[in-house]
Chains A and B, each alone.
Chain A
């Protein structure tokens, strides 16, 4: 409780507040308010001079409570509390009255706004009057980090965290790490072979003594809180011992089942027992139990018969692995938008209308065509090719409203790859705008346009017709105002990118949000791009939104830095402004446990509700729900709110 020595500081925020609020009048009015011994206004309270004014006044007037009327407490409450703490005032006896977002920015009448600012500041004084000294709660924490997703982003994050001396569990749902980058032919704008730059990172992650690699695994349950998460991971059986497998391929030779090969985007077939790709890590064959004729009970068994090294074990069972981690990084990547949604282009229907990722595999030297580009339908060579930008992107009406960011530049790259191997070939690119945002990307694309005789036609394709031995593309050249109809052998759709399958369910598992397009949502679009609203859970890469490899890698490192921020603390502190139970009043009814969104209250055997202070965020839902008034949030008590309401609504004296 304050002994009635409260100081009030009113911020002008330049003209942000001053323009609509007469801050001097607010200060003069508050000077006469009971319990206030000092009040002043200043240009920028958050500046060093402003903070010094608070420190000086605390010392000079022996203040035991401070109110700063300024911007929202989420901006500068910490700044002011730190300043107050430096001169010995308990930090929880400083409160912020929001007179910017809630007053000056939303009102148009200066007189009314000033009156409202006075009332809100008075209310804050009432709160401070009854604030108690509180001490932050210290929490121990785990020092491991969980990284979900073994694409380039997750690999980067895992290696960064591990190199800083912390153990990492890297979880990948596919049988190999590498992600989509492993499928690419070359990367723009340098035309580096994608695998050549990716595989050293994959090896580094798999060999790192501090990284525990869990492939073919998914996180099935998460509980706990920042610094102390408990995660349950389900590892699917591969039925092959990676340490014994010598990659002889005999098992695949005898396997009678063929299914579409994921790594080649369905352009080729693989067996039920297969090697995901040549540089797969772990380097081992995997038995796909969904495709296999059956292991439980065994219905074929031929692969085991031919395996010389005895690597195949049909008794392998799913493993549930439980780990305690201090921080979590989600880098679950992307998928392409389903081309069969684009019916006017014959997506998923015409074999010679392929996606951009399929094209990457088609021109890849070790892809299904060994780099010799041919029509998937009849195997004839491709002499005329059309690329269609924005296939599913920038279409709020029927598909995805956003720009997928990478397509413009990779289409230029793909047109270049085509022209390199087909110097007499005709390449047409249908585009709306060319958005090559990235270092060196604009120069890269313009150079291809200028030097490769690629026809860039500014207009979106309306329809593609499969004429059997060729495809007819209906477009328009909006620059010349002519309709365009061209015959081609192959069409490549620059498909929109979407969050990888299962992202939404995963977000629920980790108690984080997704945005309107299903991408993982960051805590702040500008200033907290890899954080989420759940403390200790970070996001990176394509899972957060469309981005290229360098941006994904940068976010991987950024998320690693944020995770290390937690892992490197001796102990974590938690706000003491949490719920507390008055045992005399508690009837043990349990209403609070249902009201709590954080699972922070339990009714113990004694019949009394007990708050887990570390899980509690101080939201007050329990206090509002409690029928006997037994629960209150520290420094947010009912008596304080009654006094604050009276101060807001009451008449001027």
Chain B
């Protein structure tokens, strides 16, 4: 799939107009979750059906947010997340990671930043990609 260029760490401030600290605060506000409650047991990653495709495992995303590592926002993990809530039902600390992922997506989506460029898809890709994948790209794009 052709993607728009991955966001680089130094671009984050330019794109979002926020520091990593502000981003973490905003994520907590949007998701209603305390990312610092996570004690890194890894149960979310162990049960995540999409973890294989993620640059950072779900638990690593939370850790990156805790230490304000921009990698949280540059990794593909938030876009790969299928919002299946497997992580949320297992989390011993009650962190709804699916909501955190959604909040992270919102940080970008509210900037009207294209993550999947439909015009960039070839006919072959459109034929071969599962429809649900394309539709969910729309949703993420418009959300």
Nearest residue, chain B, Cβ from A463? B47
Indicate if A432 sits at the interface (CB-CB under 8 A).
yes
User: Looking at chain A's contact residues, is the secondary structure mostly helix, strand, loop, or mixed?
Assistant: loop
Instruction: Beyond A459-B41, A462-B86, A481-B56, list 15 extra A-B contacts (CB 8 Å).
Output: A344-B47, A395-B93, A396-B92, A397-B91, A432-B40, A460-B42, A461-B43, A462-B43, A462-B90, A463-B46, A476-B42, A476-B46, A476-B59, A477-B42, A478-B45
On chain A, the number of residues with a Cβ less than 8 Å from chain B's Cβ atoms is: 24
Given the contacts A478-B57, A478-B60, A395 and B42 also touching, CB distance less than 8 Å: no
Interface 1/0 per residue, B87-111 and A, CB below 8 Å = 0001111100000000000000000
Task: State the CA gap A461–B52 with chains docked (Å).
Answer: 16
Taking CB atoms, residues of chain A closer than 8 Å to B86 are: 462
Query: Separation in Å of the A538 CB from the closest CB of chain B?
Result: 34
Near A by CB (< 8 A), chain B positions 1-47 give 39-47
Taking CB atoms, residues of chain B closer than 8 Å to A460 are: 41-43, 46, 92
Which of A399, A477, A481, A482 is most buried by chain B, counting CB atoms within 10 A of its CB? Answer: A481
Decide if B46 touches A459 in the complex (CB within 8 Å): yes
Taking CB atoms, residues of chain B closer than 8 Å to A458 are: 42
Task: State the CA gap A460–B41 with chains docked (Å).
Answer: 5
What are 17 A-to-B residue pairs whose CB atoms are below 8 Å? A344-B47, A394-B39, A394-B41, A395-B93, A397-B91, A397-B92, A399-B92, A460-B41, A460-B46, A462-B44, A462-B45, A474-B46, A475-B46, A476-B46, A483-B45, A483-B46, A483-B57
Decide if A397 touches B94 in the complex (CB within 8 Å): yes
Interface 1/0 per residue, A480-500 and B, CB below 8 Å = 011110000000000000000
Query: Separation in Å of the B122 CB from the closest CB of chain A?
Result: 31
Indicate if A559 sits at the interface (CB-CB under 8 A).
no
Decide if B47 touches A459 in the complex (CB within 8 Å): no
The count of A-to-B residue pairs whose CB atoms sit within 8 angstroms is 75
Decide if A483 touches B59 in the complex (CB within 8 Å): no
Task: State the CA gap A214–B59 with chains docked (Å).
Answer: 53
Decide if A432 touches B46 in the complex (CB within 8 Å): no
On chain B, the number of residues with a Cβ less than 8 Å from chain A's Cβ atoms is: 22
Decide if B47 touches A474 in the complex (CB within 8 Å): yes
Query: Separation in Å of the A530 CB from the closest CB of chain B?
Result: 31
Decide if B52 touches A483 in the complex (CB within 8 Å): yes
Task: State the CA gap A344–B91 with chains docked (Å).
Answer: 12
Indicate if A398 sits at the interface (CB-CB under 8 A).
yes
Nearest residue, chain B, Cβ from A484? B46
Near B by CB (< 8 A), chain A positions 9-47 give none
Decide if A478 touches B40 in the complex (CB within 8 Å): yes
Indicate if B82 sits at the interface (CB-CB under 8 A).
no
Indicate if B51 sits at the interface (CB-CB under 8 A).
yes
Query: Separation in Å of the A253 CB from the closest CB of chain B?
Result: 48
Nearest residue, chain A, Cβ from B92? A395
Indicate if A390 sits at the interface (CB-CB under 8 A).
yes
Given the contacts A394-B92, A463-B47, A483-B52, A432 and B57 also touching, CB distance less than 8 Å: no
Given the contacts A463-B47, A483-B51, A483-B57, A478 and B93 also touching, CB distance less than 8 Å: no
Taking CB atoms, residues of chain B closer than 8 Å to A481 are: 56-57, 60
